Structure 1
């Protein structure tokens, strides 16, 4: 009889059949989501109009998952299969990504996104099995390729009671600029709504604590990454982000404030999230011009 930890290894060849699969979607970059995220992040931006350039990572407001309600799983995500491989592990998280900004995407444009499964790998961690799926997205407007993105998704086992937890990493303390964030449920709900993210760990407290066993609502990884680039914009308003990479290190919960931090060295800006206990939650690097 196979243990849960052995299942991904046995199924890996089948999951790797998804490598190379692609899909193409189009979307119109309307102004309302931009104004709504600006309000959500407590910014005083001008009203967006046709031609307004999207700030870094705000393209996540578009091409949102439009899964029919009857096709949603218990966790609020789409049921397994379809474009993404049917990984037989219960928990799915956004682990990180790498982005190259080639030209601005602008309000009013019609944009095409071509998504391709780049890789599927399996690892055994201290808390169980992990399956990583890397998806490459290419966004093109009338001028050609504007943005390329590699999106890392991690699937993992639900940890057994008493399973060892990864040792936390102390966050740096040498930031040049920072901002405290209070991740109240309204902030998390608004970001979920803007990105049409039905994952219950971000808004359903009884589910995230009673079913998944976390102490509170989980702050979206993409929201933290967006707050990091927003911190850069607030402190280096003339900087143009050319490349950005980020990696989620440790979950952040809504039960305590956290801090987003940054430090510039030449044309590289290191950005990170630090929780209320001083642990590193996300690490990112921006290359600017």
Structure 2
């Protein structure tokens, strides 16, 4: 179906507001998935940076879920007809804490919708702005990049991989397994089948394995920073997905301190860059 740019741009400026209660159970569950202690998430604790992704989940009814496991197109987001959808990156600023037990109001605005066509086919970029407020005060501001694209053809060359940076001060290696990916999908109510349905991921979408969630990689990078600099006050974080990572394959999490900034990146077993990120410290 041809892309109707005029129709899609009508979604720019649309806004919705949601409320959620920051309960401790999702935090304890993610701590268990990541092999952390869970005794730090009782009343009065703070939601760790990026762990707010455990709330405001996309609760689409089963009859409104597409064949890929995503909610069907339309509704708040523009009805882009391209078959592939991914969370490509984002930029966050933290101006205050999100206390466990508090009610948070999230206001989401569609700030831009852009259509492009190139050698890799058609692309539609949708930019969202999330503002999370406690008692009327915005504590977290998040810009999110969503990309819709064509499914690659059998003769389409793969995108050229990018070598990873060198000179890391801290390195941690993990091997994501199917149970980790399934549990993270369940925690974030992410039904996208590429993360837990191997026949679908390999036969329908052509991946060599289950795809590791981009937000999970970003969370692991943030956790590496917090483990190495536990007293640091993180004021901003940005990340960009560069290349998919797959289950049962080593994934290296790397970080390098650069003054009051930290460069973070994730590297696959072939030495190619999967995610590039930056953090700013107070």
Tell me, yes or no, whether TM beats 0.5.
yes
Residues 1:279 and 2:272 are matched in the alignment? yes
Corresponding residue for 1:78?
Answer: 71
* Ranges in structure 1 where 5+ consecutive residues have no aligned partner: none
Structure 1 window deviating more from structure 2 (279-288 vs 34-43): it is 34-43
Residues 1:16 and 2:47 are matched in the alignment? no
Residues 1:190 and 2:183 are matched in the alignment? yes
Compute the displacement of 1:53 (Å).
0.6
Matches within 5 A, 1:210-221: 210-221=203-214
Residues 1:261 and 2:282 are matched in the alignment? no
Corresponding residue for 1:242?
Answer: 235
The 2-side partners of 1:45 and 1:238 are apart by 19
The 1-side partners of 2:43 and 2:75 are apart by 34
Q: What is the alpha-carbon root mean square deviation over aligned residues?
A: 1.0
Q: Is the 8 A contact 1:275 1:281 kept in 2?
A: yes
Matches within 5 A, 1:132-211: 132-142=125-135, 144-211=137-204
* Ranges in structure 2 where 5+ consecutive residues have no aligned partner: none
Structure 1 window deviating more from structure 2 (164-173 vs 121-130): it is 121-130
Compute the displacement of 1:240 (Å).
1.1
The 1-side partners of 2:165 and 2:102 are apart by 40
The 1-side partners of 2:205 and 2:118 are apart by 18
Compute the displacement of 1:46 (Å).
2.4
Q: Which of 90, 112, 123 is the aligned partner of 1:119?
A: 112
> Where do 4+ consecutive residues of structure 1 move more than 6 Å?
none
TM-score, length-normalised on structure 2?
0.98
Compute the displacement of 1:125 (Å).
3.4
Residues 1:270 and 2:263 are matched in the alignment? yes
The 2-side partners of 1:251 and 1:124 are apart by 22
The 1-side partners of 2:122 and 2:244 are apart by 18
Residues 1:63 and 2:59 are matched in the alignment? no
Compute the displacement of 1:255 (Å).
3.3
TM-score, length-normalised on structure 1?
0.96
The 1-side partners of 2:116 and 2:260 are apart by 35
Aligned residues: 282
Deviations 1:149-185 (A, max 9, x none): 0010000000111102211110012100011111100
